[in-house]
Amino acid sequence: MGAFLDWGLEKDLFLPFKEQTEKVEKGDRCLVSLYVDKSERLCATMKIYHLLQTDSPYKKDDIVTGTVYEVNRDLGAFVAVDNLYSALIPKREMYGRMYPGQEIEARVAAVKEDGKLDLSVRGKIPEQMDKDAELILECIETCGGGKLPFTDKADPERIKAEMGMSKAAFKRAVGRLLKQKKIVIKEDGIYSL
């Protein structure tokens, strides 16, 4: 039939299977809207896309908070900014695991003509490059032997899986570390100096 949600009241809230965008498991958090069903009962729906507004006060590079309400592996993560405005973290910007109910902080990457927001969980390139460089140095130290077992020529999927960043971001950070003379690249990996 569906799931019963604890929403802080004496009686749980019913979320029918047909109103779920993803299977709900015990312990999950999900963003829902309320509606009255044909039996005059209050129910929940995870289908909230059409309820979100597109007239947000945000502009490019603003930092926003929101709730992930749906993840589509082909498109990205749909986010309700302030639980009110429509936004998307495009697939190319998704790093790490995202799931419905997750609270995120992100940067507005673009405001579309229709008012919807594109978000990025990464900072602007100059600031992000410093963070990425620090992460690479930390990984070199914790991998053992002061070596990262691959270089900037590695497959983009391996870099994304092991470092949580795109190949382009990885190459920028490695370039910065090379200029700062903190690393050296050899055929079998990247070493700290």
**Got the DSSP string for 108-172?**
EEEE-TTSPEEEESS--HHHHHHHHHHHHHHHHHHSSTTEESS-TTS-HHHHHHHHSS-HHHHHH
pLDDT digits (tens, 9 = 90+) for 10-43: 999 999 999 998 888 898 888 899 999 999 999 9
Nearest CA among 91, 115, 23 for reference residue 3: 23
Percent of residues in the chain assigned helix, strand, coil, to nearest 5: 25, 30, 45
The per-residue pLDDT for 42 is 95
User: Domain 125-192 falls in which CATH fold?
Assistant: Arc Repressor Mutant, subunit A (1.10.10)
List every span in the chain annotated with CATH 1.10.10.10: 125-192
Q: Which CATH architecture has domain 51-120?
A: Beta Barrel (2.40)
pLDDT at 144: 65
Residues 6+ apart with CB under 8 A from 50: none
Helix (H, G, I), strand (E, B) or coil at 18: helix
Instruction: Please answer whether residues 60 and 111 qualify as being in contact, where contact means their C-beta atoms are separated by less than 8 angstroms.
Output: yes
Instruction: Determine whether 167 is exposed, middle or buried from the number of CB atoms within 10 Å of its CB (0-12, 13-18, 19+).
Output: middle
**Beta bridge pairs of residue 53:** 85
> In the chain, which residues fall in CATH 2.40.50.140?
51-120
Low-confidence ranges of the chain (pLDDT < 50): none
